[in-house]
């Protein structure tokens, strides 16, 4: 694990270069370096994941907004949010966002993937074709079954006698991604769950079987009370001990390198130019460069390298390699609306953590048992339901917490309360990511364009009414819930939609900026096998994008685990390319 050496007369060469050691990049590095004949370089702009707050679950509070672990992005002023600017965290460390996120294991709904198959014309993206790839790397705490994988049970894919899966089997792959139950109990959450059931929302003990409708506790990517990030799962110790694997940390890719198109031959990506903290160095790729820098980073890097909208490239004096108007378009995100309710005669984190004695008890419980508030994911209880009877499937998601605060990063309130945050799972609004200058060190303009459609505003208003209906149920009445935010004085669609703009915030699920699609889709950036288009009907040779940016539509839930599945499928396709090039592994 090191930074690249200073430049010399020759540049180091690898078979595969992976840009970004986040969720997708770590898995790709593991799978592709399993073949000892392939030299794999993984490049990460951030540092090692040796910061202790990465690994303590509640430590996300100290990682988000911290330059050691976060890119510190902000959105542009957003009209749907009444001109507000939001903090927009993205992981900048080994493990990427899996090192700072909410740790919730959520696949979404089967219809999400069936829709991807329709949009791409490729049945490989159907739910039944994706499920085995979720199961391949999963280590489910209840053990393996038709929907889950677990260590000790050979995944069905590894039973296939192909060179790729045989290599993974010989390397002991499978079951690296731990999915655990939460290690806490809060009476106020139990009461909310019972109230949701009284309001007509069925109980769910597993949100990951294709339909996530219901109310229940989220399962989390933790192991024995510690955060389980992608670096632990896929880099250590497996990759780091392989002689054909190289990791550069503290190294930001400044641009991609290309051989220009020649006649009917498309351009070819040949390597990357990297800022190592002292100077620019280059690394060359004999096979492929894979962008796994995330929905923000991958779109930004393509644009800086001459792959993007023609007007944007011209504005910043960047020579075009491929004119692709979809690069940086189609940004989608989950916007959550936080309702806060004061309660009485029940414990919440607000008052539990308000005293030195309470803080000491919390710390001691974690030290001795790895449980309690320090083991908490940001949200513990979840629910999926419909904002109105107009929807044939659950279209809203709740994240419920035994605490409240004015905004993320602010102190907890001085009174007992719980927060019920609700988001539109399938927003129609679309935003953009666009570079502001030709300098790689400048953050791009992130414009999510929240609540831009009438349907999104209607869902926002209706979802707040669903929250009120749940809270009005008998199960919560012993605690005398009082609506603190947004306030019962707001009732009409117009008032509630405007209010959503005032109090809503992102759940940090940006996707879609390098979306996949059919050849006749003018905004598709990659094809269904994640190869980057050349703007002339072909593909740029040697270049793929493998991260959440390729999602044509956002999944109906948290996006980290779907990103792992995408990387799992892509690794197989990349290995198949190697085989066609004459490498049997």
Catalytic residues: 509
The C-alpha atoms of residue 462 and residue 466 are separated, in whole angstroms, by 6
Rounded CA-CA distance 98/377 in Å is 12
In sequence order, the 6+-apart residues with CB closer than 8 A to the CB of 557 are: 106, 107, 108, 109, 207, 212, 384, 397, 425
* Nearest C-alpha neighbor of 93 from the set 52, 128, 51: 51
Distance CA 255, CA 272 (A): 6
d(Cα 74, Cα 80) in Å, to the nearest integer? 15
DSSP 348: -
Residues in the chain: 585
Q: Which residue has the tokens 């769950």?
A: 193
Contact yes or no for 557/290 (Cβ under 8 A): no
Residue 584, both tokens: 């049997």
C-alpha–C-alpha distance, residues 71 and 50, integer Å: 17
CB 11 within 8 A of CB 279: no
Neighbours of 389 (CB within 10 A): 6
Residues 6+ apart with CB under 8 A from 264: none
What is the CB neighbour count within 10 angstroms for residue 495? 15
Q: Give the H or E element holding residue 295.
A: helix 294-304
Tokens standing for residue 357: 């004695």
Query: Alpha-carbon distance 181 to 44, whole Å?
Result: 30
* Number of H-type helices and E-type strands within the chain: 15, 25
Q: Which two tokens stand for residue 286?
A: 């004999």
R_g of the chain computed on alpha carbons:
23
Helix (H) or strand (E) holding 567: helix 560-580
Q: Phi and psi at residue 314, in whole multiples of 5°?
A: -65, -40
d(CA 562, CA 201): 25
In this structure, are residues 584 and 163 in contact, taking their beta carbons and an 8 Å threshold? yes
Q: Give the separation between CA 447 and CA 437, rounded to whole angstroms.
A: 16
């Amino acid at each position: 694990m090191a930074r690249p050496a200073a430049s010399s007369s020759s540049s180091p060469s690898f078979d595969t270069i992976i840009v970004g050691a986040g969720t997708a990049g770590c898995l790709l590095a593991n799978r592709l370096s399993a073949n000892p004949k392939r030299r794999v370089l993984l490049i990460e702009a951030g540092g090692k994941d040796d910061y202790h707050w990465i690994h303590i679950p509640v430590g996300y509070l100290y990682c988000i907004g911290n330059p050691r672990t976060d890119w510190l992005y902000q959105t542009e002023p957003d009209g749907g949010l009444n001109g507000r600017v939001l903090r927009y965290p993205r992981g900048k460390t080994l493990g990427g966002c899996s090192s700072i996120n909410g740790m919730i294991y959520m696949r979404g709904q089967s219809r999400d993937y069936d829709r991807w198959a329709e949009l791409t014309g490729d049945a490989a993206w159907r739910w039944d074709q994706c499920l085995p790839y979720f199961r391949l790397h999963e280590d489910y705490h209840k053990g393996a079954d038709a929907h889950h994988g677990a260590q000790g049970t050979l995944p069905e894919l590894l039973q296939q006698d192909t060179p790729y899966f045989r290599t993974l089997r010989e390397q002991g792959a499978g079951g690296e991604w731990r999915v655990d139950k939460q290690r806490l109990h809060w009476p106020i959450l139990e009461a909310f769950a019972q109230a949701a059931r009284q309001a007509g929302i069925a109980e769910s003990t597993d949100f990951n079987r294709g339909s996530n409708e219901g109310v229940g506790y989220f399962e989390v990517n933790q192991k024995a009370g510690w955060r389980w990030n992608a670096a632990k799962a896929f880099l250590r110790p497996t990759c780091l001990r392989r002689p054909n694997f190289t990791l550069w940390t503290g190294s930001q890719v400044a641009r991609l390198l290309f051989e220009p198109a020649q006649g009917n031959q498309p351009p070819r990506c040949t390597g990357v130019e990297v800022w190592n903290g002292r100077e620019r160095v280059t690394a060359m790729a004999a096979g492929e460069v894979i962008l796994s820098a995330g929905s923000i980073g991958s779109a930004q890097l393509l644009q800086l390298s001459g792959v993007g909208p023609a007007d944007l490239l011209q504005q910043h004096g960047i020579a075009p390699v491929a004119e692709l108007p979809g690069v940086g378009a189609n940004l989608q995100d989950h916007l959550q609306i936080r309702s806060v309710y004061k309660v009485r005669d029940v414990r919440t984190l607000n008052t539990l953590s308000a005293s030195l004695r309470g803080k000491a008890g919390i710390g001691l419980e974690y030290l001795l048992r790895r449980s309690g508030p320090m083991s908490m994911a940001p949200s513990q209880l979840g629910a999926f339901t419909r904002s109105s009877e107009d929807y044939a499937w659950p279209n809203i998601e709740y994240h419920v917490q035994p605490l409240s605060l004015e905004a993320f990063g602010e102190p907890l309130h001085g009174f007992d309360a719980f927060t019920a945050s609700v988001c539109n799972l399938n927003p129609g609004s679309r935003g953009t990511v666009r570079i502001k200058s030709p300098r790689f060190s400048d953050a791009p303009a992130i414009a999510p364009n929240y609540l831009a459609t009438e349907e999104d505003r209607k869902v926002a208003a209706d979802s707040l009414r669903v929250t009120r209906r749940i809270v009005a149920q008998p199960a919560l009445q012993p605690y005398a819930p009082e609506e603190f935010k947004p306030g019962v004085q707001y009732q009409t669609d117009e008032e509630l939609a405007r209010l959503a703009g005032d109090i809503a915030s992102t759940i940090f699920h940006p996707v879609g900026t390098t979306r996949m699609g059919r050849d006749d889709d003018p905004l598709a950036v990659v094809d269904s096998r994640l190869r980057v288009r050349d703007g002339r009907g072909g593909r740029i040779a040697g270049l793929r994008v493998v991260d959440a940016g390729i999602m044509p539509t956002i999944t109906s839930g948290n996006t980290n685990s779907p990103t792992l599945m995408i990387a799992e499928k892509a690794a197989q396709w990349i290995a198949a390319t190697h085989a066609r090039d004459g490498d049997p592994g």
